[in-house]
Amino acid sequence: MQLYNKLSAKERAELIDKTGKNRLTLSFYQYAKIGNPQIFRDHLFITWNALDVLGRIYVAHEGINGQLSLPADRFNEFKAHLDTISFLKDIRLNVAVEQDNKSFLKLKIKVRNKIVADGLNDDTFDVTNKGIHVGAEQFNNLIEDKKTVLVDMRNHYESEIGHFKNAVTPDVDTFRESLDLIEDDLKNHKEDKNLVMYCTGGIRCEKASAYFKHKGFKNVYQLEGGIIEYTRQVKEKNLENKFLGQNFVFDDRRAERISDDVIANCHQCGTPFDVHTNCANAACHLLFIQCDSCKEAMENCCSTECMEINRLPYEKQKELRKGQGNSNDIFKKGRSEALKFK
């Protein structure tokens, strides 16, 4: 029985082109108590692989977090399967603002300790005791209140290319870092301020809202469905869009444009630009913002050192990478001394 991918990304991309079917990119999450995540994971893989689902899904004792794509004509089958699972019945599915048939090229369902890494070891913390969910219209009204503090619960490289007007955007690399930082900044306003949070699809805010309630904050709110659902409601209800720029997403699209505003800059020359790329040097693979001119001049590399390495024969590059570990462990996204404008 197949419980893993058998096709490479290249083979899958060719197959997608050959079938000629439009695919739908969507995401969802749910905090729930899962007794045996491994068995649940295997069940999902068998069922979803048969539906031609591709994506990145995390399963843990605390719930499920999924970003995926599937043939549009099989959506009803997929939804029907979700409805057979008690804690996923009638779950909200965040449909991507911008569609791309190749947003995902493999089905990866992984068992993790937690669906959102938080570094917390507090048995008294109840993740289900969450804050108040608000839709786009109420969110727009709430963030205009002078008693409101609006906080972006995403990491620095996400908020850099797009965020809500007047939002606090913590300069952090991980979700865990932002929890203590925000609590310390607002420790004197646990009762007199509205703490309003948002993220991409809502999963980080769900946990953060429960955490800050656990820490004594009285007026805690989160944007229902995150930026993705907010954008849908703004269009559907003809509301004012208060989001500037692009929404960073964790698939091959990298971002969805929400407004025409370009609020970021090329990390190499400083010109206004907001499209991420990965350094062409496989040993680096740094995620950073690079304009078209710098991409051409630097050969899609983040530094002259990486450019020189990338020009070497493949076998020589491979030899140099030996013993260096995974590049994700070496470099933090969007941070490097070689990037003059970061």
Positions annotated as catalytic residues are 199
**Phi, psi (rounded to 5 degrees) for 35:** -65, -45
- CB count in 10 Å sphere of residue 50: 12
Joined together, the tokens standing for residue 248 give 């960073």
Distance of CA 171 to the CA centre of its chain: 16
Instruction: Look at residues 203, 151, 218, 142 and name the one whose alpha carbon lies nearest to residue 182.
Output: 151
CA distances from 342 to 173, 193, 264, 300 (A): 14, 32, 10, 17
Helix (H) or strand (E) holding 218: none
What DSSP letter does each residue of 94-116 carry, written as one string?
Answer: EE-SS--TTS--SEEEEE-S-SS
Which amino acid is located at 145 in the chain? Answer: D
